Every structure is written in structure tokens, then in C-alpha cells.
Amino acid sequence: MQDDPNSARAHASLALVYLYQGRKELTPLEARKALELDPNEREGFTMLASNVAEFYAVLGDKAKSLEWLDRAVRAGDERAEWFQRDPLLGDVQMEPRFRQIMDGIRNRREQQAKSNR
């Protein structure tokens, strides 16, 4: 934050820090700031979207978490292996929608492999 106070990723990370510290009143402010700074910018958006997915998972809002995870994946974040072991996403990893998102990543990878042959 000191190096770049306009870093969307830094604000998203700070939102998670506040959440873990129990300062839940500050968490949405930082998350909103992150989204304002980088609402749809391709570079950085995928990481920001997955951070927001983690944020909502930790808050216990599975629907919003999965919505943001889906947005991250549609924007190009295909780190299925990480998502499946990410402790912050632990509460959503057994949800059917989570499995659908992971299956979507695998299907895209298979299609890419076929087209590269």
C-alpha cells in the first residue's frame, strides 16, 4: 500500500487481513475500493476476482464467492489445482457449482490440447 496506494490487489488483500483481524466493518470498504480501482481491467482482474472470491468464502457467502470465482475463471484464471487446495476457498470446495467451475477449466484445457495436435 505504501508503494502503490492505488493498487487494487493491495486493497483486496487488505480486505482479507481486516476480515481475519475481526475488523469486518473495514472489510467491505477495502473490497469496494479494490473493485473501483480495477473493475474490469484485464491485467490484474483475474487475481483480483479470485481474491474477492476468497473474501466472500471466508465471510460465509458461498453464492457470491462462487460468482466471483466464476468471473475470475471466465477472465482467464485457470488455476484449478490452486483453487482446489486454497484454504480460503475451503467452505466452497464441496459445492456443486465449484465442481462445475473446475470441470469447465478441465474441459477448456482438453479442447486446447486437441486443437494443438
Is residue 2, in this structure, part of any structural domain at all? no
Is residue 3, in this structure, part of any structural domain at all? no
Write the pLDDT tens digit of every residue in 71-86: 889 888 899 999 999 9
Is residue 30, in this structure, part of any structural domain at all? yes
Helix residue ranges per DSSP H, the chain: 8-21, 27-37, 42-59, 62-74, 80-85, 96-115
Write the pLDDT tens digit of every residue in 3-51: 777 877 788 778 778 877 888 778 777 877 777 776 555 555 677 788 8
92: cell is: 466452497
Is residue 64, in this structure, part of any structural domain at all? yes
- Is pTM beyond 0.95? Reply is no
Which CATH number is 54's domain given? Answer: 1.25.40.10
> What integer pLDDT is reported at residue 22 of this predicted model?
81
**Domain of 45, in residue numbers:** 8-115
Number of domains composing the chain: 1
Give the long-range contacts of residues 11-19, CB within 8 A, separation 24 or more. Answer: 11/37, 12/48, 12/51, 12/52, 12/55, 13/51, 15/51, 15/55, 16/51, 16/54, 16/55, 16/58, 16/88, 19/55, 19/58, 19/59
